[in-house]
Structure 1
Amino acid sequence: MFFHQNRAIELLRQGSGNLQANFRDGQEEAISHIVTGTQRLLVIQKTGWGKSFVYFIATKLLREAGFGPTLLVSPLLALMRNQIVAAERMGLKAVTINSENTDNWEQAEQQIFSRQADIILISPERLANQDFVNRI
């Protein structure tokens, strides 16, 4: 797939709510790397650098190209809530499955199976649940 730089910066500005926003060092390269799918990528950055923007922009570009949803493992429930809001500002349909929202799991799973979900945020312990791994 081809990386669309102008669309990526448009999504950054939309997601951040800042029409003058520009990528931080390494963000655009990370997004391009993910979207073109040439190799695996490990991004280690400090809190506040904007890793979520990398995930969300890459997801949006891939979904617009017809690819499936992204699975994001997020260890902090408060961060997960913030990530959902940020993803939705970018026009992504985000669903979450974690220990805090067990009453909503069935609805989230329906959105995943019907291909409505763009990004699925889960807590790490979900990966230890074999039933979850098999179904989702």
Structure 2
Amino acid sequence: MAFEEKRAWALAVIASVGYAVYAVVVLSRAAGRSLVDVSYADALLWTTGLGIVAGIVSGIWFGVAARNDGLQSDERDREIGRLGDHVGQSFVVIGGMSAMVLAVLEASHFWIANVLYLCFVLSAVLGSAAKIALYRRGTL
């Protein structure tokens, strides 16, 4: 398995687990109250920050392992990375547009922050899924 494919798997898992932890924390804090009244900012910032750190650490880990094994990226790896990034970036745009619409509609900060976070997670997961699919399919 290529270094970039391992990294894609790691980022998909990290993003999914981080969002699941965030959702559990926020929903447990709700306890029958409206979600907009729940304290969410600390959970959002912690899970986002820890996800970023975990992504960096996993990238370093897989990079060192690849270097020790003598593996290098080639043109195919770069092309798969580019295509996967394009898939992921589309969800960043969707999140930005959704947040803008929510702001214009004067929605609660809770919903604006959460739509952005969800789209960042979808960007990471679906971008990684696209890379994994391209590696598994074997052709571009």
Q: TM-score range by the shorter chain?
A: under 0.3
The structure with the largest strand share of the pair is 1
The structure with the largest helix share of the pair is 2
